[in-house]
Amino acid sequence: MVLAGFCFVAMTAGVKHMGSDIPAAQSGFLRYLLGLVFVVPMLFIVRGERLEPAVWRAFAFRGMAHTVAVMLWFYAMTRIPLAEVSAMGYLNPIYTTIGAALFLGEPLRLRRILAIGMAILGALVILRPGMRELNSGHLAMLGTSFLFAVSYMMAKSLSGKASPTVIVGMLSVTVTIGLTPFALAVWQPVTWTEIAWFLAIATAATAGHYLMTMAFAAAPITVTQPVNALQLVWSITLGALLFGEGVDLWVVIGGLMIVSAVIFIALREHQLRRAAIRGAVAP
């Protein structure tokens, strides 16, 4: 999940570099279309797997939710700073964690709830709602966070029914199809340089989704999702170094709160696993 975070931050920086000259729907479409370069070999694996009809329906539903989320995310990237995009993205783990507890039956202990609450409080410290004006980019990120949470919960539920390769491959195919009509409606000419950038973005994004799906198959979602908090630190750093976005004290304080919560959750989970192993081998 840590490696997936690195890939997603690299993708975010690439999108930020592209700016708002290309419409959000077209940007998302090009990212997924070029990402099919890595997905085509995966389709041969799909042909060899016998999947139930319910799994195919889940692939389609996840693709629809992810399609809308992608368009909203690309739009938000052109309207608000990189750090704010990442900060608002932490509503996603909250939605995901609650959904996993309600619908996937995963345990949610009090200490973990408190730690996740601290992470969200850190994001609120960064955003400071009510103390400044919020624009359409912030509203877009609210929708993005919810829909990505739906997508990630479905990825977790699919992880026991299909291989990570198939799950990532089907996401790329369904989202590409879903974005096609929206992209054609706003299409603008693109240069070869822009295509090269979108290919780099697609490479980072595809690797990130593959690593994330592997993480979902290896650990509960309430453990893997909080690790995403580290992306905020990397996003703040890249925003300051590459895009000249200022870093204030509130951002530093909020980031430290989120990282502290992530470290606590990771240490707590490690302790629980060690205790379970000791109990299993005890005579």
Digit-coded pLDDT (tens) for 224-276: 766 766 777 777 777 888 887 777 777 778 777 877 777 776 677 667 667 76
CA pair distance 26, 233, nearest whole angstrom:
29
Instruction: Report pLDDT digits (tens) over 135-158.
Output: 788 889 888 988 988 888 888 888
Q: What is the pLDDT of residue 147?
A: 92
Among candidates 209, 259, 255, 256, which has minimal Cα distance to 82? 255
Q: What is the pLDDT of residue 195?
A: 92
Buried b or exposed e, range 53-87, using 16+ CB within 10 angstroms: eebeebbeebbbbbbbbbbbbbbbbbbbbbbbbbb
* Local confidence band at 48 (pLDDT 50, 70, 90 cut-offs): low
Distances in whole angstroms, Cα of residue 257 to Cα of each of 8, 123, 253: 21, 8, 6
Residue 72 has pLDDT above 90, yes or no: yes
**Rg (the chain; Cα; Å):** 19
Q: What is the pLDDT of residue 2?
A: 83
Indicate the pTM of the whole model: 0.77
Q: What is the pLDDT of residue 157?
A: 81
Q: What is the pLDDT of residue 70?
A: 93
Q: What is the pLDDT of residue 128?
A: 78
Instruction: Report pLDDT digits (tens) over 171-214.
Output: 888 999 999 999 999 999 999 999 999 999 989 987 887 887 78
Q: What is the pLDDT of residue 183?
A: 95
Q: What is the pLDDT of residue 228?
A: 63
Contact 4, 208 (CB under 8 A): yes
Q: What is the pLDDT of residue 166?
A: 81
CA pair distance 87, 228, nearest whole angstrom:
11
* Local confidence band at 60 (pLDDT 50, 70, 90 cut-offs): very high
Q: What is the pLDDT of residue 200?
A: 92
Residue type, 56: W
* Residues making up the chain, counted from first to last: 283
Contact 19, 78 (CB under 8 A): yes
Q: What is the pLDDT of residue 69?
A: 94
Instruction: Report pLDDT digits (tens) over 74-121.
Output: 998 888 887 778 777 777 767 777 777 777 677 777 877 888 888 888
Contact 153, 96 (CB under 8 A): yes
CA pair distance 137, 100, nearest whole angstrom:
27
Q: Which of left, alpha, beta for 189 (phi over 0: left; psi -120 to 50: alpha)?
A: beta
To which H or E segment does residue 204 belong? helix 192-218
Residue 26 has pLDDT above 70, yes or no: yes
